[in-house]
Amino acid sequence: MSKTMLAVVKERPEPGITVKHIPIPETPKGEVKVKVIYGSICGTDIGIYDWIPWVQGHLKPPIVIGHEIVGEIIDINGDASHLKIGDIVSSETHIYDETCEQCKMGNQHVCDTVQFFGYGRDGGFAEYATIPIRTTWRNDPSIPLKEMSVQEPLGNAVHAVTKGDVSDKRVLVVGLGPVGMCAVAVANAYGAREVVAIDPELYRRELTEKFTNVTTLEKIDTKDFNRFHVVIEASGVPAGIQTSLDAVYPAGKIVAIGIPKKEITLDWGKYIIDKEITIESIFGRRIWETWHQTTDLLKSRKIDLQKIITHEFELKDFEEAMKIMKSGKCGKILLKINPPQI
């Protein structure tokens, strides 16, 4: 086996990325090594590429990026009774310490010393990667391989929609990136009375309509202000956040997923006090509760993630994949790293 591998590396604290050969990592104690099969590009990866302020507070270059992956275990260094060589696995991005107050409360995803796979430490956009045993998820073999690499955005949507408690409620999803698309599908699966979604990009509106029961709009009219019991804010842009505040029903709930590129201001009295709304947020997935929910949705085929996968690129073509991702004219973009030979 070669001693080097191709990887996508954030080399410097500035916009841009490098695709280069680097040494194949050894397997640290308490971790597994995987041969990465597929990766999928996340909105966070765009932020890393653009070097937005939020990323600057979480990532210290140089680092191999990428956190949405599926791979085959080829080495185990430690006690891993639930894993074996050859298992097809994914990584939970939020690496927790198991000892802090949050972990003891069951909130491992917001661990006091949380580290992040793919932006707090080397991630998975490489031919090989290492993952802590405690954050390695063994995939159900009945789930299609490509869908296994897209479980994290679905998990974010599951966490958000679960917090929204959407059954028999009117739901608005703001922003139709992959997480927003997944949020529409999850809201359908969890019994929302009506789902409306807004996004300025026609491509994404039409794609979402093909696999969900949803009404999509470029933007909502003022007649829809104060109408939605639950708003899932998945855009992170000021206009989307303002729409969420206007659209939510008094005493309703906004669940925030989208990461803003800059600070957000709002009229506290008009929205928080006068409307008596609840604003909650999600930061990843509940470990491992959300993963089990996600698996159930995929195994039951209530959600078909392959319908949001619109493009596939070789790892060496990451720059081209990023151009498509940033254009907005795509669903989920897969990176073929060590795909099965057909």
Packing angle, helices 151-164 and 178-189, rounded to 10 = 50
Q: What is the pLDDT of residue 261?
A: 83
Question: 1 pLDDT exceeds 80?
Answer: no
Amino acid making up residue 201: E
Question: 276 pLDDT exceeds 80?
Answer: yes
CA distance 222 to 220: 7
Q: Where are the domains of the chain?
A: 4-139+304-336, 157-281
Q: What is the pLDDT of residue 164?
A: 98
The dihedral of CA 151, 154, 158, 160: what is its sign? Answer: positive
42-57 confidence digits (pLDDT tens): 988 999 999 998 899 8
CATH number 3.40.50.300 given to 157-281: no
277: how many CB neighbours lie within 10 A of its CB?
Answer: 18
Write the CATH number of the domain with boundaries 4-139+304-336. Answer: 3.90.180.10
274: how many CB neighbours lie within 10 A of its CB?
Answer: 11
Question: 136 pLDDT exceeds 90?
Answer: yes
CA-nearest of 312, 310, 313 to 331 is: 310
Q: Where are the beta strands (DSSP E) in 183-341?
A: 194-198, 215-217, 228-233, 248-256, 278-281, 309-314, 332-336
Q: Do domains 4-139+304-336 and 157-281 have the same CATH topology?
A: no
- Supply the Cα-derived Rg of the chain in whole angstroms: 20
pTM for this prediction: 0.94
Beta carbons within 8 Å of 134's beta carbon, 6+ residues apart: 30, 95, 96, 98
15-71 confidence digits (pLDDT tens): 999 999 999 999 999 999 999 999 999 988 999 999 998 899 889 999 999 999 999
Question: 342 pLDDT exceeds 70?
Answer: no
